[in-house]
Chains A and B, each alone.
Chain A
Amino acid sequence: MHRFVRPQLMLRDSKQPLLPRAGHLCTNHKSVVSSVRGYVVLPPTSDEEEKAMLHRMMRVDHAGEYGANRIYAGQMAVLGRTQISPLIQEMWDQEKQHLRKFNEILAENRVRPTLLLPLWNIAGFALGAGSALLGKEGAMACTVAVEESISEHYNSQIRTLMEKDPEKYTELLQLIKEFRDDEMEHHDTGLEHDAESVNLNYCHDRMSCMNYNIKIQILNNSNN
């Protein structure tokens, strides 16, 4: 998907929010509305260290959402014609929205995306498809494990930002809290739909969790 947009005026030059221009196809109305805003998520800063930290956070989050996206895609590829598919599709759509939001943030703030994206692409799809092959319970177990990891990750980010300066990072905190709540919702949905019914799920839980944690660790370390 091509993302070619004519560069916008820098925020300091005008009061206009950075809007995606005509070249960007917005098929989802919700995304158009959510991108029209009078504030910027990342607070502008001239401190190099702080900027690096924020960029790192956004890079990891972007990679995380991208991976989650691919996991659901894998699950849908296998379970797309079954009864559970509308549910997975709904969760996938929410993840797509999250990813879109992070894409916007990365583009606006000129944050470098992680180099490991092709790896997360394949790994995520494989994890999703693999867990779905174990049936609906497998897919739900995978969802539960992954969403638990993501929520933990977002929580630790929220803690970090709160420790530094809650006032300054209000919008960013709001965004991360919102996404964390969405992920918790997915986690609970997964639990509702018999994720815990099979013994197998214990190992599977651990594996998905581990996979996700490894991913986050690699990202954190490589971008430090």
Chain B
Amino acid sequence: MAALIRGLRAGRALRGLGGVAVQGTVSLQCSNVRRGFHRAALLRLASDSKSDTSVPPPSYHEVHTAGESSSSSAQGESSEDAQPNTSFQDQSGEHGEDYETEEQLQARILTAALEFVPQHGWTVEAIAAAAETLGLSSASTGMFNNGAGDLVLHFVAQCNAQLAETLAEQNNQVQLGQAEAKKTAEFLKDAVETRLRMLIPYIDTWPQAMSILLLPHNIPDSLKHLSTMVDDIWYYAGDRSTDVNWYTRRAALTGIYNTTELVMVQDSSPDFEETWAFLDNRIKDVVNMANTAKQVQATGEAVVQGLMGAAITLKNLTGMNQRR
């Protein structure tokens, strides 16, 4: 890994020296970069290290030129990437001033790859195309052990982070009195709609993404993302329950979200009207069920009271209640 980074730095430095940020069309630079990667790839295969926290800092010149181009975008990525993919190698302690961590670089590549998804689908080709636009070799897809899975999980994490930000912002507005607090059903509907709308640009290829998320080795991560998202939505909706309701509410919302997502991928109505209508109906169902449950409980309690009253009356009548 260390060698790979060094190779990347060398590639970028050479590009800087060349003075032109081109998509690898200058053959001399290209071949240098490829040679660097080839060497790096060999070294990586040879070495066994999983996570290399002792990467020696590259030469000052390299850092300087690499830093200019990467620091601004890296900061943008790291703040956005609230939930880094768990299959990334962990180098979170590596924040030098102009030093981009591997995590940040991967995040940058994956974010860029999203643009190529409509064209290539959720595949390694999209990642490779993105790597090339960033001036890296398409061989840098080797960084992603999980391939397309990394791309999909990155996208899901990004969307969830965006949703959490939006909900927090709305919450602030309500706290400051600048906006009205929504009712629970409406809040849930809006939150789920906001989150699902983020899929619209990729809706044609989304079934492929969904199937990737259902692969056995991706299931733990995708479940984690899903449960965090549902927890966030309920938290901002005002749920502070500390009993079984905590679980039933989240289970209900997970069901609503998943079914609505499925409806959305095969919805062809203008602006997905049918999907939002479906969502509305499902939320109404859940609210109805909750109300019914409450009513049943109240009725049950009333019935019990009635029976107790009848029993006491009977005891009184038969004289069993007298103190002896």
Contacts and interface: CB of A to CB of B under 8 A. Distances in A.
B171 A7 contact: yes
Nearest to A5: B240
Interface in B210-236: 231, 235-236
Contacts of B54: none
A8 B240 CA distance: 11
B171 A113 contact: no
A155 B171 CA distance: 39
A115 interface: yes
A118 B244 contact: yes
Interface stretch (A104-112, A157-165, A200-208): A104-112
B320 to A, nearest CB: 15
Given A9-B172, A13-B172, A110-B231, A4 B242 contact: no
A103 interface: yes
Interface residues of B, number: 21
Interface string B237-253: 11111111111000000
B240 A4 contact: yes
B171, B181, B242: most-surrounded residue (chain A CB, <10 A): B242
Contact of B175 (A8, A110, A117): A8
Given A4-B184, A6-B181, A8-B175, A107 B242 contact: yes
A147 to B, nearest CB: 23
B175 A113 contact: no
B174 interface: yes
Interface string A1-45: 011111111100100000000000000000000000000000000
Interface residues of A, number: 21
A62 interface: yes
A115 B184 contact: no
Contacts of B242: 3, 62, 102-103, 106-107, 113
Interface of B is mostly: helix
Contacts, number: 44
Interface of A is mostly: loop
Nearest to B246: A113
Contacts of B168: 10
Interface in B272-310: none
B119 to A, nearest CB: 37
A117 B244 contact: yes
B244 A3 contact: no
Contacts of A117: 243-244
A115 B247 contact: yes
B251 to A, nearest CB: 11
A6 B174 contact: yes
A7 B238 contact: yes
Nearest to B236: A7
Contacts of A6: 174, 181, 238
A189 to B, nearest CB: 28
Interface in B190-215: none
Contacts of B236: 7
Contacts of A115: 244, 247
Interface string B251-277: 000000000000000000000000000
A13 B174 CA distance: 14
Nearest to B247: A115
A107 B235 CA distance: 9
A2 B184 CA distance: 13
A186 to B, nearest CB: 23
Interface of A: 2-10, 13, 62, 102-103, 106-107, 110, 112-113, 115, 117-118
Interface of B: 168, 171-172, 174-175, 181, 184, 231, 235-247
Given A8-B175, A110-B235, 19 more contacts: A2-B241, A3-B239, A3-B240, A4-B238, A5-B240, A6-B174, A6-B238, A7-B236, A7-B238, A9-B172, A9-B175, A102-B242, A103-B242, A107-B240, A110-B231, A113-B243, A115-B244, A115-B247, A117-B243
21 contacts: A2-B241, A3-B239, A5-B238, A5-B240, A6-B181, A7-B171, A7-B235, A7-B236, A7-B238, A8-B175, A9-B171, A13-B172, A62-B242, A102-B242, A107-B240, A110-B235, A112-B246, A113-B243, A113-B246, A115-B247, A117-B243
